[in-house]
A and B are shown apart, each in its own frame.
Chain A
Amino acid sequence: MEPLHPKLREALKRAHPDLTDEDIDRFEELQALRFEFDPIKDADKIRELDLERAELIRRTMPRYKEVARAFAAQVAAPKPRRVPKVEIKRHDAADE
């Protein structure tokens, strides 16, 4: 799982003044743990972890989605699309 960007962590704490780093770390740990179980063989365990994650969000970070979307928009906004450098020379121009 992509690690939590430190700026998103700060934004989450700003949006939830009672939120602690320990809460976020616990949430991150549950998310990472979820992906260690095989979704084909261990679906029940994954469901259990998802319920625990959902409860933790509801209790400590109810504005998570809103904050994450604002952060994503901020990160995505300045990204220039990479276009290959192209140089064109006309043969008739080169001959002149």
Chain B
Amino acid sequence: MAATTGLIQRLTWSEDVSSACVFIGPSPDSAEIFLIQLRSSDSEWVRGYKKSMIHLLTKAQAAGYEVSVEHPEDNAELTSVTFGEFDICPIGRAVHNDFYSVSGAGIPEDAELVFESDSVMVTVTPDLVRSHWVFVAELPSAIPVGRNMVRLQAPGWSSDAVPVDVSAGPPATVRMLYSGASKSKPYTIAFVANPAIEAEAGGSFSADPVLTNRPGFHDAVAYCLRNLLTVTEGLLRQDDIDARIRFVAIFDSTLGVSDANSLAHELNPNLMETRRDKLNAFLARYSEVADVVFVLHGSTTHDRATAWYSTDDAAKPDTTYTYDGTNRVHGHFASIPGSTAVPISVNQTGLTALHEFGHAASDFNNGKVNDLYVDGVGSGFVVNKKARAKSTDPIPNNFGSYQGTNYQSDQNRDAIGYPNTWTSYHLVLIDPTRPNMMDNYWLAFDDPLRCRLDHLTYDWFSDRLKAKIFR
């Protein structure tokens, strides 16, 4: 059996002899000609196999993929067709000024994207690099429209080059940024450009300026992803669990002002909250289901971010755990996703996206992760804060137990200190020199992006996220 590898220069179908004719080689002038003939004597199985080979050749020609074909030494009739395997995978269409992602494995953190066409080579520094994912917030328009070969490269390392067709537009309405685990319902974080805003008083709506600022939306999504996946707190990237998380962005500039399209509500004096009861129906229009939704908005008057916890679906499977000896559950699915309203003007020196995710990914019934910069503990089951009877009572050494392990209290609240009127107290920190990321991270002595969680909340959250991610 002989084998030939190369690009498909031409593929034709001859009705007269029921044959596909394929030209394979480095150029149209130096290509070998092969055949796949459908004969009346072929069994149904053989006929189906030959049609599959033709289908594969058609796909490979359209994508510009190199193929390997096998045929007998003495004739040109093909017996097999295979694609070469690539070690990277571009995600979605390559469109100027739209998001662009490439997935792979073992990608170095200094990897760059290289687009090569007949005329130029364009190197793009990504906005985010993980070992399995490279993300660009806006594909530069300097990349020529048409066929390019894209690869990832870093000093001493390069991926395969994959053919992609770059277009000038339009950008996608729904863009999968990363596919996550290959399962029907992977844990999903959605970034939505909010179409309309409900006014403080309620009942009246106006267009959200974010829909006329697509670059601002892309910039905010990139900030959120860096905050979630690259800051010192590695909750979401431990054991590379983020490789199993699906990320999707929705920007639908065609939407008008309506109750159903308003996912954000202004709150006196400068807060914005999500309208959590609208989220499932909104996402369903795009065939999306999310566990956590970032509602990104363009308000400059109500620009303080807030979040609502998730509501786990009690009718679906869960994972049990014990907290202070009480049996509780991590629900695997949400009936209402956790959500946060974040302005696209968000101060990117802060930990706002990860902090709000900390609220949103916790749960109304199965454990709330609360703000630590205020005293009150509130009602229900709070994971990360407790209160003494009186502010003069000593802070107990032992905060509580999770899964049978005891966790200590934070006697000092890092360098901030507990005001002497406070009754509440917190858990011992992973980094005792900086505020908890659920506390006032703006008070970090150096860089808010270096704040982390406490030990118990980290362990509780790890288990909660893994229960959902591996569901």
What is the interface of chain A, defined by CB distance below 8 A to chain B? 1-6, 22, 25, 28-29, 31-33, 35-40, 50, 53-54, 57, 61, 64-65, 68-69, 72-73, 75-76, 79, 81-92, 94
Contacts and interface: CB of A to CB of B under 8 A. Distances in A.
Interface of B: 118-127, 136-138, 140, 142, 215, 219, 222-223, 267-271, 273, 276-277, 300-301, 303-308, 311, 336, 345, 347-348, 350, 352, 355-356, 359, 364, 368, 370-371, 373-376, 378-380, 419, 421, 439-443
Given A2-B352, A29-B376, A33-B376, A81 B442 contact: no
A94 B271 CA distance: 54
A57 to B, nearest CB: 6
Q: Which of A79, A84, A91 has the most CB of B within 10 A?
A: A84
Ranked 5 nearest A-B pairs via Cβ: A85-B125, A3-B440, A36-B378, A29-B374, A87-B123
A91 B122 contact: no
Contacts of A82: 127, 137, 219, 222-223, 348
Nearest to B267: A50
A91 B303 CA distance: 47
Nearest to B342: A2
B269 A50 contact: no
A84 B122 contact: no
11 contacts: A3-B373, A3-B442, A35-B308, A39-B277, A40-B336, A65-B270, A69-B270, A72-B300, A84-B126, A85-B125, A89-B122
A36 B277 CA distance: 16
Contact of B373 (A4, A33, A83, A89): A4
B364 A38 contact: yes
Given A1-B304, A32-B371, A35-B359, A84 B125 contact: yes
A35 B307 CA distance: 7
Contacts of B348: 79, 82
A69 B300 contact: yes
A1 B271 contact: yes
Given A65-B301, A85-B124, A54 B268 contact: yes
B125 A1 contact: no
A53 B307 CA distance: 18
A55 to B, nearest CB: 11
Contact of B121 (A37, A57, A88): A88
Q: Which of B215, B271, B348, B380 has the most CB of A within 10 A?
A: B271
Given A6-B442, A39-B277, A69-B270, A86 B123 contact: yes
Given A1-B359, A85-B125, A88-B122, 19 more contacts: A2-B350, A2-B352, A2-B356, A3-B441, A28-B374, A29-B375, A32-B371, A36-B378, A38-B311, A39-B277, A61-B269, A68-B304, A72-B303, A75-B347, A82-B137, A82-B219, A84-B126, A84-B127, A91-B121
Contacts of A68: 269-270, 304
B67 to A, nearest CB: 26
A90 B241 CA distance: 40
A2 B126 contact: no
A3 B372 CA distance: 9
Contacts of B124: 84-86
Contacts of A22: 421
A65 B302 CA distance: 9
A22 B422 CA distance: 11
A55 B311 CA distance: 31
B416 to A, nearest CB: 11
B204 to A, nearest CB: 17
B119 A86 contact: no
B364 A91 contact: no
Nearest to B274: A39
A16 B159 CA distance: 60
A32 B370 contact: yes
Nearest to A61: B269
B355 A2 contact: yes
Q: Which of A36, A37, A68, A79 has the most CB of B within 10 A?
A: A36
A81 B218 CA distance: 11
Contacts of B356: 2
A76 B215 CA distance: 15
Q: Which of B136, B267, B305 has the most CB of A within 10 A?
A: B267
Contact of B368 (A1, A31, A36, A81): A36
B140 A86 contact: yes
A75 to B, nearest CB: 5
Nearest to A79: B348
Given A35-B359, A90-B120, A76 B345 contact: yes
Contacts of A86: 122-125, 140, 142
Contacts of A32: 370-371, 373-374, 376, 378
Nearest to A83: B138
Given A72-B300, A88-B121, A25 B378 contact: no
